[in-house]
């Protein structure tokens, strides 16, 4: 269930904007109609759709309370409250996108757990460097007796999808030398269940390195992100009467650029229509915006109309999923190891400061990403 439309916005308070969009989904009758249209349900299933719409409303109400409570407390408990907020929001996405088998009472029958479990590899001292401490904190999958993954996170993961890459799309106006330029979703991932969550889980460092908003905080401690930054656009080529997608990858470390390009693939039949221009530290990639030239790009995250970030590793979690894993680790570390967590806060350790930044990111991005999923339209900042 891929999102193919986008809406751009300007807002000083992104969280407030996102919750304003989410308010629509507390209207049970409107959401009932949307569920029926989305899943092509006959009228005989209206009661089931209404039950899911009601549960979406209830999960949103609870998520908003956790979210607002998190805004009023210190870092000592903020990650805990934000983790429960993101869990409640994940349930709203499940209820909107999945079948009646994913109603809350059905989920509790075999998936009545978080789906992730915190594992700590060592003592996590405040004097440890960020790489060591963030690698030692890991979220492993919870499994059933037969070894299969289970829980809320696993159910959410199965229907999660990569969000589109948005850029400026230029279209000529007939009979003139002018063009209309505006934002458009133009690069899409596959509408298929992503790869399984690793048996060994992901570390906090793994999750943070995939989030664009964490690059500056990580860079303070000499940690490189697993991303390259790019600007995407589509221009009309009059000679060929088609659009050409342009991806300008901004200067990055050599190893990051090499890792990015190792994940880019084109079908042999279209290789002659691909143009790659290298410049110091970066490159410019152009190819036709047509299904006749299949292109495989690594997973991307679009933070605003001018900036997209492509992964330099084989990714299987979207932005929401990476924040979900990171908040699970941070929230459960704070909840179950208060003596360790408070010792980090007391000295403003690298771990404490990076998690503080993570919570700032979550306040903006988490409700915005779920608003996009429920509205089936990607909300992107101008």
Distance CA 362, CA 272 (A): 43
Distance CA 292, CA 10 (A): 36
In the chain, alpha helices (H): 14-22, 28-38, 46-71, 78-97, 104-110, 130-136, 152-158, 204-209, 215-219, 254-262, 319-336, 338-346, 350-375
The model carries a pTM of 0.94
Distance CA 97, CA 115 (A): 19
Q: What is the pLDDT along the chain (382 residues), one digit of tens a residue?
A: 789 999 999 999 999 999 999 999 999 999 999 999 999 999 999 999 999 999 999 999 999 999 999 999 999 999 999 999 999 999 999 999 988 777 788 787 777 789 999 999 888 899 999 999 999 999 999 988 888 888 999 999 999 999 999 998 887 776 666 778 889 998 888 899 999 999 999 999 999 999 999 999 999 999 999 999 999 998 876 655 678 889 999 999 999 999 999 999 887 877 788 889 988 889 999 888 876 667 789 999 999 999 999 999 999 999 999 999 999 999 999 999 999 999 999 999 999 999 999 999 999 999 999 999 999 999 999 8
The residue to which tokens 């159910």 are assigned: 155
DSSP secondary structure letter of residue 12: S
| Alpha-carbon distances, residue 194 vs 155, 162, 288 (angstroms) | 12, 9, 26
DSSP secondary structure letter of residue 212: G
Give which of 230, 327, 322, 329 is closest to 283, Cα–Cα.
230
């Amino acid at each position: 269930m891929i999102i193919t439309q986008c809406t751009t916005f300007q807002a000083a308070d992104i969280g407030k904007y996102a919750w304003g969009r989410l308010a629509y989904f507390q209207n049970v009758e409107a959401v009932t109609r949307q569920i029926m249209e989305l899943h092509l349900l006959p009228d005989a299933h209206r009661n089931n759709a209404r039950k899911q719409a009601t549960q979406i409303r209830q999960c949103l109400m609870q998520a908003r309370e956790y979210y607002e409570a998190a805004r009023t407390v210190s870092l000592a408990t903020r990650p805990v409250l934000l983790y429960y907020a993101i869990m409640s929001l994940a349930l709203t996405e499940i209820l909107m996108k999945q079948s009646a088998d994913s109603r809350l009472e059905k989920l509790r029958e075999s998936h009545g757990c978080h789906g992730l479990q915190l594992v700590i590899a060592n003592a996590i001292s405040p004097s440890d460097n960020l790489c060591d401490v963030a690698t030692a904190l890991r979220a492993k999958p919870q499994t059933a007796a037969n070894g299969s993954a289970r829980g809320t996170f696993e159910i959410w993961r199965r229907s999660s999808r990569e969000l589109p890459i948005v850029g400026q799309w230029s279209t000529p106006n007939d009979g003139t030398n002018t063009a209309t330029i505006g934002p458009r979703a133009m690069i899409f991932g596959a509408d298929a269940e992503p790869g399984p969550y690793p048996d060994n889980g992901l570390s906090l460092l793994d999750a943070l390195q995939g989030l664009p908003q964490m690059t500056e905080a990580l860079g303070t401690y000499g940690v490189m992100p697993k991303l390259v930054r790019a600007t995407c656009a589509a221009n009309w080529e009059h000679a060929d009467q088609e659009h050409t997608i342009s991806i300008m990858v901004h200067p990055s470390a050599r190893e990051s650029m090499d890792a990015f390009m190792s994940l880019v693939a084109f079908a042999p039949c279209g290789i002659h229509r691909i143009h790659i221009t290298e410049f110091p530290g970066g490159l410019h990639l152009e190819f036709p915006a047509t299904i006749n030239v299949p292109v495989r790009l690594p997973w991307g995250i679009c933070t605003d109309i001018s900036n997209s970030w492509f992964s330099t590793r084989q990714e299987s979690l979207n932005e929401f999923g990476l924040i979900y894993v990171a908040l699970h680790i941070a929230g459960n570390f704070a909840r179950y190891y208060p003596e360790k967590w408070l010792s980090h806060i007391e000295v403003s350790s690298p771990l404490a400061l990076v998690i503080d930044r993570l919570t700032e990111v979550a306040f903006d991005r988490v409700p915005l990403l779920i608003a996009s999923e429920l509205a089936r339209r990607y909300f992107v900042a101008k």
